[in-house]
Amino acid sequence: MTTRAFIAGCSGLALTPDEIAFYREASPWGFILFKRNIADPAQATALCEALREAVGWDAPILVDQEGGRVQRMGPPHWPKYPSGRTYGVLHANDPLVQREVTRLGARLMAHDLRAVGINVDCMPVLDVPTAGAHDVIGDRAYGRTPAQVAILGRAAAEGLLAGGVLPVIKHMPGHGRAGSDSHLALPIVDASREALERHDFAPFRMLTDMPIAMTAHVVYTALDPDHPATTSRIVMDDIVRGYLAYDGLVVTDDLSMKALSGTFSQKTEAAFAAGCDMALHCNGVMDEMIAVAGAAPALAGEALRRADAALQRIRHEPEPLDPVDARARLDAALAMVA
């Protein structure tokens, strides 16, 4: 079966006949869900089953479930999880406890996601904020130093993997220095390459064994003053595949974000021309999805190898977990910073 190298959203809590027909024809590699798509466990499970039925295989289903401000599944049906920063300030003088609690939180999130059929979580955030940066990252970051972000980011990623859910490290090669929100405008970062390597790129270089990475819609003038990372052949070749030596699946950030210009066909073509493996389109707007699908290639070659290698990482039974005991331990740890 041939799939196309894109990930699609959907419009609501259940698939429309037009969406089912589109997915069957376009055959996206995967899907992504948002709050508009999730009401309760039974509905979320039914939607995941319908998406996979539409494409005829156990396609990956993604969600942004970081905790804090970015949590698509929450109360009353799922517990609230802390932001990355909360883990970073917890037991500040005991990094071992920080790592253990961060892993535990991610392991519990994986339990929640896998129970409804979601098997990819777009976390951990490996961006390192700097003074004066836009707060679009802010408390989503695990700390303010590359080392802390890398250590706790790895703990979160390993917690997800232990629960049978793929992590997506983001936003490669670094969004923490951006002065604007790429959902709304194109951030321009003027830092030197030396500064970027020392600060922004460092956590990604320490987690190159992770299976999937999401790009940053950010221009780094020291690297490519004309294109954001998502559509920059220079950044993809010299930094992502070169300096970082990352050989996992590279997925674009959402192509509907305002940071990127051009039609959806043009944005999709530019991302693949730069060297991205997979296009991500999130809002479920049919005309836009059709354009992305039309410009996305069949998943083949190195991109297919990377996609298959990623899925292989979760073809196992999750490690044993008592969710009631684990949640009690997480809550006890978090009570210390409440």
Torsion on CA atoms 123, 271, 288, 50, rounded to nearest 10: -50
316 belongs to the catalytic site: no
Q: Exposure of 141 by Cβ count < 10 A (0-12 exposed, 13-18 middle, 19+ buried)?
A: buried
Q: Which of 6, 10, 17, 72 is nearest to 47 (CA)?
A: 10
Which one is catalytic: 18, 58, 183, 237?
A: 183
Contact 220, 191 (CB under 8 A): yes
Which one is catalytic: 112, 121, 139, 253?
A: 253
Residue 48 in tokens? 């995941």
Contact 244, 234 (CB under 8 A): no
| Separation of alpha carbons 306 and 247, rounded Å | 7
Contact 267, 231 (CB under 8 A): yes
287 belongs to the catalytic site: no
Residues that are catalytic? 183, 253
